[in-house]
Structure 1
Amino acid sequence: MPLMFYIYRAVTWLIGPLTSILFRLRKKIGREDGFRKFERRGFAGMARPKGLLIWVHVASVGEMVTVLPLIRKLLEKFPEAQALLTSGTVTSAKIANDNPHERIIHQYVPMDHPGFAKRFVKHWRPDIGLFVESEIWPNLMHRAEQNNVPLFLINARMSQNSFKNWKRFPISVRHLLNQFNLILAQDSHSCVRYEMLGAKRIITAGNLKYDTPPLPYKATELQKLNQAIGNRPIWLAASTHETEEVSVAETHKNLKDKHPGLLSIIAPRHPQRGESLVKQLTEMNLTIARRSENQTIKADTDIYLADTIGDMGLLYRLCEIAFIGGTLTPRGGQNPLEAARLNTAIFYGPSTENFSEMFTLMKDEDAGRAITTQNDMTDMVDLLLSDATFRKKLSTNALKLIDKNKGATEETLTAVTPFLEKKISR
């Protein structure tokens, strides 16, 4: 093993006592679950089920929503199996709890400490491990390898920025990547970058996000919001990050006279920012209705602040126009397909590195439009509100793009099935 791994292992051992302090700090800002804190130290929340156990690890909400259909297909194919789904965020745990399955167990992933990792793997003894997208944790992977758990990196992606950073540690990165029995890259750009970093077992399998079903919603909630909004012109700024809300507010102020009754909806990527956003937007002389407080949309409401978790399926069905957040600030962008799948006309800023190939395809197929500045946002919202034919063209092209790129789920099933069948035959 590379020297860097031993250094990492030693450092994570030494800072073990500090993890309690880190946990408390994260809990204060709503990023840890105090009731299940033991799971973050590798202690199990329940007994290991008997039989075949498929371990799937995701980072947060987006990856969890993406991988749930694959998990269900695996459980259909292997009726004797159970799935252990791990993640690291409170929001993802809520998604898992809101979408229960009798054969899926959710646990918080342990912090990447050698002792926590050992405790976790020793208890659960998974038969296979599927890490999703870019989840690479050296101690957890090392302990799994020590216990002969075959590992896969599925729907793997490598942005240009990540590639530049990883190139600084070529020996260590090559060692980590080749701990995976197979890497299934979601696009050709990621595949090439992984190969350049030294990955030996890698294929391009497509992006699981194209196979994901539409986000769920509550019909009663949609009906209630439609009744409150009536015929008002509306648009949505989805999964926004800091500073983007100001651009949305300025766009609203610029257009409210031209489009009487305009309602702008903001769904922040991190709902815990709701309190500070209310203050910020109120200081801009805007009237706010806050979803987390069950505040009603009234005739004079300028901004509906959807500072809640799990409502994107509802909001995309409510609005025909959506700005994809994390693109007007240098965050790399959020997943545009969630909106596209629900017949929404999409536009986005220049920061799209997290989903670069996806946004490139959208541009090539005229399935979404790019903007650069806040003034561009005003012009684009104005155009989309004014031109129903233009809205329809973008949303229709987006649906065609999704249909054209499906198939990653079957590719992934084909790749991992032989390993699971081998486990069963023993």
Structure 2
Amino acid sequence: MARGSDDISLTRPDGAEVLWMHATSAERAAALADIATRCKAQRPDLYALLTVAPDVAPPAQLRRIGIDHMERLANDGGNIARQFLAHWAPDVGLWAGLPLIPGLIHKAGARKMPMILADISRDDAVSLRGLWRGGQRSTLGLFDPILTTGPSATDAIRRLVRTPDQVEESARLSVSVTPPVFDETAFEDLTGQLAGRPVWLAAGLERAEFDTVVAAHRMSVRLSHRLLLVAHVAHPDEAQPLVDTMHRPGLRAERWDPDTEIEDNIQAVVCEDPEALGLWYRAAPVTFLGGSLTPQTGGQCPLPAAALGSAILHGPHVRNHGASYVRLEQVGAARTVTNANELSVAVTRLSAPDAAAAMALAGWTVATEGAGLADRLVELVQAKLDARP
């Protein structure tokens, strides 16, 4: 087990419960960070320790969303396994995916540490059949429950363990999302005010993206004269500079005021209030997610927009949430654009009535598919912590 040189300087906080999670992929790491955040909402003093396989490059934002400490673990021997467990003394373990590290798991079991295994697929089950012959049952038996991702995986794992009842079928592990809140009455008022007017949202725009979005909207309104752009800036102090950028080529634009109706001749409104994003995600059939056209920012999470029924457009630079974008693209819920012309073409096509509906439905499915499993894992962690002597 390889550990970073600064790991030993960190210690288990006095009196804190420690949740140890291990991820074997970057997507699983992001999902476990979400689980940790939700567990800590119920147990504010919980310490979340994340370990990852050596080849995993976890998302850069992990340390800001519930993870107190992260380090890499590799199957390097029993002495380091003992040192790791003695140093952190975790109260509960949550392991996501394969491969397992049998020596570490058995030493954790010897400490009577409850452990949960999640996100085991049929391919994982097949791979286990050729490993640790004679020992896989005892290793898997230290996890309770084992959560599998479909009937074939469930059947295969049940044949490998001594207690089949410890195996539960569940969804695959993925980042879940709580959609931004919005006021239903405000949404109804806004819908009536727009009166069927086509709308697209550009959310979280960085200054370097202003010209591209403005150019795209200018091209789009030539074909759809009533099309409204709602541009949300990543930094509130850049709202007026964006309005000024829109005025230069002759767009009729203004700052958005929720208490003032948007006049029909206004072609774009600029919003700086992050609390309003839920309302606009719900109102706009199409959302371009900013921070993605230039490499500096790394993109923003697409799942809140997808969860509220908006089709997703984005630039190529989405490293912070790459796995979520890949999942959305795979089901046709998101598209990549690289310049103003591509953005304009996509917006124009998707602004037609019901054109974005299929994309939005696919995106909603992806955004909500992990919610049930996330609830189950949070429930399991809380129960095992509550059962500690």
What's the counterpart of residue 228 of structure 1? Answer: 193
Cα distance, 1:173–1:404 mapped onto 2, change above 3 Å: closer
2:49 alignment counterpart: 152
The answer to whether 1:363 aligns with 2:260 is no
Partner residue of 1:275 out of 230, 237, 240 = 240
Q: How many Å separate the matches in 1 of 2:374 and 2:316?
A: 27
What fraction of aligned residue pairs are identical, expressed as a percent? Answer: 20
> Does 2:208 align with 1:243?
yes
**Shift in Å, 1:341:** 1.4
Residue pairs, 1:162-181, within 5 angstroms: 173-174=71-72, 181=90
Deviation at 1:294, TM superposition (A): 5.0
1:18-97 counterparts in 2 under 5 A? 70=38, 75=42, 83-84=43-44
Q: Cα 1:305–1:174, aligned 2, differ >3 Å: closer, same or farther?
A: same
CA gap 1:336/1:5 in 2 versus in 1, 3 angstroms: closer
Name the SS of the counterpart of 2:222 in structure 1.
coil
Q: Give, in angstroms, the shift of residue 265 of structure 1.
A: 0.6
Residue 363 (structure 1) shift = 1.6
Whether the 8 Å contact between 1:322 and 1:339 is mirrored in structure 2 is yes
**Cα displacement (A) at 1:7:** 10
Structure 1 residue 388 corresponds to structure 2 residue 354: yes
Specify the SS of the correspondent of 2:364. helix
Work out which of the residue numbers 326, 345, 349 in structure 2 matches 1:379. Answer: 345
Distance 2:364 2:386 in 1: 34
Mapping for residues 191-210 of structure 1, pairs under 5 Å: 209-210=175-176
User: Any conservation in 1 of the 2:51–2:71 contact (CA below 8 Å)?
Assistant: no
SS of the residue aligned with 2:232? strand
Relative CO higher for 1 or 2, CA cutoff 8 Å, sep ≥ 6?
A: 2
In the TM superposition, residue 403 of structure 1 has moved relative to its aligned partner by: 4.6
Q: Distance in 2 between matches of 1:3 and 1:254?
A: 54
Question: Is 2:201–2:288's contact at 8 Å kept on the other side of the alignment?
Answer: yes
User: CA–CA distance in 1 between the matches of 2:52 and 2:71?
Assistant: 18
Rg (Cα) greater in structure: 2
Contact 1:155–1:208, Cα closer than 8 Å, also in 2: no
Letter in 1 for 2:204: S
| Backbone CA RMSD of aligned residues | 4.5
| Structure having the larger proportion of residues in helix | 1
CA offsets per residue over residues 253-290 of structure 1, 9 Å max, x none? 11112101111011123333223323333334322232
The answer to whether the Cα contact below 8 Å between 1:261 and 1:299 also exists between their aligned partners in 2 is: yes
Deviation at 1:373, TM superposition (A): 2.0
Q: Per-residue CA shift, 1:177-221, capped at 9, x if unaligned?
A: 985947868x87xx99xx9xx9x99976666642x3432111232
The CA distance in 2 between the partners of 1:296 and 1:280, in whole Å, is: 22
Q: For the Cα contact (< 8 Å) 1:321–1:384, is it kept in 2? A: yes
Partners of 1:421 and 1:262 lie apart in 2 by 57
Query: Aligned-pair distance for 1:293?
Result: 8.1
Q: Is the contact between residue 289 and residue 296 of structure 1 (CA under 8 Å) also seen in structure 2? A: no
Provide the rounded CA distance (Å) in 1 between the counterparts of 2:214 and 2:336: 19
CA apart distance, 1:234? 0.9
Cα deviation, 1:117-150, whole Å, max 9, x if unaligned, reads: xxxxxxxxx3x22xxxxxxxxxxxxxxxxxxxxx
Name the counterpart of 2:138.
none
Letter in 2 for 1:152: L
Secondary structure in structure 2 of the residue aligned to 1:413: helix
Q: Which runs of 5+ in 1 are unaligned?
A: 9-51, 57-61, 76-82, 85-125, 130-150, 164-171
Contact 1:184/1:412 (CA < 8 Å) preserved in 2? no
Aligned partners of 1:268 and 1:67: how far apart in 2?
29
**CA deviation digits over 1:146-194, x for unaligned, max 9?**
xxxxx334999x757859xxxxxxxx95599985947868x87xx99xx
* Distance in 2 of aligned mates of 1:298 and 1:353: 38
- Any conservation in 1 of the 2:4–2:71 contact (CA below 8 Å)? no
> CA separation in 2, counterparts of 1:328 and 1:215?
24
- Distance in 2 (alpha carbons) for counterparts of 1:232 and 1:303: 12
Cα gap change, 1:246 to 1:68, in 2 (>3 Å): farther
Give the unaligned 5+ runs of structure 2.
Answer: 20-29, 62-69, 74-83, 109-114, 120-171
- Measured in 2, the distance between the counterparts of 1:69 and 1:300 equals 44
What residue number does 1:253 align with?
218
Q: Secondary structure at 2:265's aligned position in 1?
A: coil
Is the contact between residue 341 and residue 402 of structure 1 (CA under 8 Å) also seen in structure 2?
yes
- 1:336 alignment partner, one of 263, 287, 302: 302
Q: Write the letter of the residue equivalent to 1:336.
A: P
Cross-structure match for 2:287: 322
Q: 1:305 to 1:154 in 2, by over 3 A?
A: farther
Q: Is the 8 A contact 1:160 1:353 kept in 2?
A: no
1:308 aligns with 2:284: no
Tell me the TM-score normalised to structure 2 length.
0.59
- The number of equivalent residue pairs is 287
SS in 2 for 1:332: coil
Please report how far the alpha carbon of residue 384 of structure 1 lies from its aligned counterpart in structure 2 after TM superposition.
0.6
Name the amino acid aligned to 2:280: L
- Residue 301 of structure 1: CA displacement? 1.3
Matched residue SS, 1:285:
coil
Structure 1 residue 396, shift from structure 2 partner: 1.9
- The answer to whether the 8 A contact 1:67-1:208 is kept is no
Offset at 1:5?
A: 7.4
Query: Relative to 1, partners in 2 of residues 1:392 and 1:152: Cα closer, same or farther, differing over 3 Å?
Result: same
Report Cα offsets for 1:384-412 as digits up to 9, x if no partner. Answer: 113634x1221122233345444123224
Amino acid of the structure 2 residue aligned with 1:262:
L
413 and 319 in structure 1: CA distance in 2 versus 1, 3 angstrom threshold: same
Cross-structure match for 2:132: none
Distance 1:183 1:297, change over 3 A: farther
Secondary structure of the corresponding residue to residue 317 of structure 2? coil
Contact 2:221-2:227 within 8 A present in 1 as well: yes
Match of 1:118?
none
